[in-house]
Structure 1
């Protein structure tokens, strides 16, 4: 057996590490730190998969590199990452009609760059989808005040259909953002996290109750994102109905001679106005307890189609409801029909 010294083994390991560092340094110089993130992530992705990339990470160089690795790429691009593609500038696009587009293909036919005029210029790149077949997209026209059809290349429709979760989240947040102004950077993070939590809850709610995982119901449908946020705001603004128990004091001596005021019967209290109860509070199935109200006269109940009177009241909703052997309005009121 040939004997190898520990010094030679260490030297080989160091040479291997140096070669790896040199390769990563070259990749970092060519694709940047953002492009290097994509190259690290696709190592675990099966060859031949379709990948959609945001413009923060994408470039035409990255498209060519991933084409060599065997991946199908569709991405948005920034104007300084197109390798001097002779596409019209954003100022030139602003003079064009909405729906206008341009496209350029590299000499090796591995990458196409498409510029499309929506409200502003949009740059996209791909190695497997291009202009044909053209599609029609619905867009809002401010002058006509209606939705109109715009002709768009197939790459636009393909990217909009399969765009990633980051773009979808940004789109949903932009629909109804939480308005705030603050110079404190951590305040922006907190409000952003709250917005993300609300939208994730809305998506889960739609997927479980409606069986719809798409985001098309953000502006249309039975329960829109705007209504979902409004219900949360109403619930947070509702004051909790906490029952404060009176404190009783025990005196050491009993006063035999009571005043005439104590012997008088209690005066009848006027019933207050009915409090508005949101659907979220009414049907949350939490801490709704029947509370007995000691009054001289029964109070009229608040359930629909019932004119009876009762001593019982919901401790959370502050609504009088029948609760006896013949009627159970308490259960009907808190059950969604």
Structure 2
């Protein structure tokens, strides 16, 4: 949901959302939260028509349209909640070589012979009932936990049943409850879209304006940034990096690269500093972070500037120097004599 209260034919009102007014987006994410495809909901009666597809309702049509970019018969598995699940959509995905698992509403199971809620309540917490429908292509599983939930899947059933620990309020103890396999797999694979929404809302750029398309544009930039961070975390795991940088630091590093890479140090525009209020004194032991690698090696406008006070060299860490790179804002050795040190050149070369 992209918040927006201005005038637009795409604006929707969703009373159950934290931000009730705005643009609704449909998205297809993997389990890690990486967004692969999305489109904008355009209102009632504007469901996306896919060639050769029967009407599967709004939710079903959305799932099939977002899965059009997936290769057929490659073993892809799709997970969604009860808003999207229905038999027509599941059969359409099955005919395209895509497996499906999700929760489903009771009014969409077409009177399948599952045990009633009262029967499962008598058996107690962890009881379940499973039936196969539509020539054994679709399996329905009803599970009793705190409440009953019905699952539909084209490749999973209740077997094998595993144990899971739950808290019993009446006895005030933890007990072991049977959990069907379809529920276990669904819980592991679902939540990618919610994770993406949460990460996009953390450091989102706040804008105000009347041009509705700018809100969608800036939201796509936010999604691109979060997607890049997900890829960065995956590469850190592959390369054995224990502590990847958090999203806030990653986002600021990307912004710094775009602002400084291949660009000279721009002169100050506006009033001279002498006419402005003097900046607050820096704290003792102030540390200047190193510039991004892309900025350090771009070979644009890196010049040494002499300072009155000396500081430790950022490259070698042994000597003290008064020379500082005006673009990278770090001290570097530039010492002639019998034992010359040119950390300035080495630092900007490799």
TM-score (norm 1): 0.53
Whether the aligned pair in 2 keeps the contact of 1:299 and 1:310 (CA below 8 Å) is yes
Are 2:304 and 1:291 equivalent residues in the alignment? Answer: yes
* Separation of aligned partners in 1, 2:252 and 2:146: 32
Q: Deviation of residue 200 (structure 1)?
A: 1.8
- 1:277 aligns with 288
Q: Residue 105 of structure 1 is aligned with which of 131, 136, 139?
A: 131
Are 2:57 and 1:32 equivalent residues in the alignment? Answer: yes
- 2:202 aligns with 178
Where 1:196 maps in the other structure, the secondary structure is: helix
For structure 1, the 5+ residue unaligned runs are 1-20, 140-147, 247-269
Whether the aligned pair in 1 keeps the contact of 2:139 and 2:154 (CA below 8 Å) is yes
Q: Residue 222 of structure 1 is aligned with which of 242, 259, 262?
A: 242
Q: Deviations over 1:206-255 (max 9, x none)?
A: 4445437xxxx9xxx7244x713334247759998946389xxxxxxxxx
- 1:74 aligns with 100
* Separation of aligned partners in 1, 2:145 and 2:288: 44
- 1:320 aligns with 331
TM-score (norm 2): 0.52
For structure 2, the 5+ residue unaligned runs are 1-48, 167-174, 270-280
Whether the aligned pair in 2 keeps the contact of 1:312 and 1:323 (CA below 8 Å) is yes
Where 2:202 maps in the other structure, the secondary structure is: coil
Where 1:211 maps in the other structure, the secondary structure is: helix
Change (3 A) 1:321 1:136: farther
Determine which structure has the larger strand proportion and give its number: 2
Change (3 A) 1:87 1:232: farther
Aligned-CA RMSD value: 5.4
* Separation of aligned partners in 2, 1:131 and 1:168: 23
Where 2:201 maps in the other structure, the secondary structure is: coil
* Separation of aligned partners in 2, 1:120 and 1:290: 68
Whether the aligned pair in 2 keeps the contact of 1:300 and 1:307 (CA below 8 Å) is no
* Separation of aligned partners in 1, 2:64 and 2:227: 29
* Separation of aligned partners in 2, 1:233 and 1:196: 15
- 2:182 aligns with 155
Change (3 A) 1:231 1:334: farther
Q: Within 5 Å, which residues of 2 pair with 1:163-242? A: 168-174=192-198, 177-178=201-202, 189-190=216-217, 192-208=219-235, 210-211=237-238, 222-224=242-244, 227-233=246-252, 236=255, 242=265
* Separation of aligned partners in 1, 2:68 and 2:266: 58
Q: Deviations over 1:37-90 (max 9, x none)?
A: 6667679954584541434543134335655x484632223425333566778x
Larger of the two Rg values belongs to structure:
1
Whether the aligned pair in 2 keeps the contact of 1:54 and 1:75 (CA below 8 Å) is yes
Whether the aligned pair in 1 keeps the contact of 2:207 and 2:215 (CA below 8 Å) is yes
Q: Deviation of residue 322 (structure 1)?
A: 0.8
Whether the aligned pair in 1 keeps the contact of 2:142 and 2:148 (CA below 8 Å) is yes
Q: Deviation of residue 154 (structure 1)?
A: 1.9
* Separation of aligned partners in 1, 2:327 and 2:177: 52
Determine which structure has the larger helix proportion and give its number: 1
Report how many aligned residue pairs link the two structures. 262
Q: Deviation of residue 199 (structure 1)?
A: 2.2
Change (3 A) 1:122 1:133: same
* Separation of aligned partners in 1, 2:322 and 2:139: 75
* Separation of aligned partners in 2, 1:159 and 1:198: 27
Q: Deviation of residue 126 (structure 1)?
A: 0.9
* Separation of aligned partners in 2, 1:150 and 1:280: 53
Change (3 A) 1:182 1:169: same
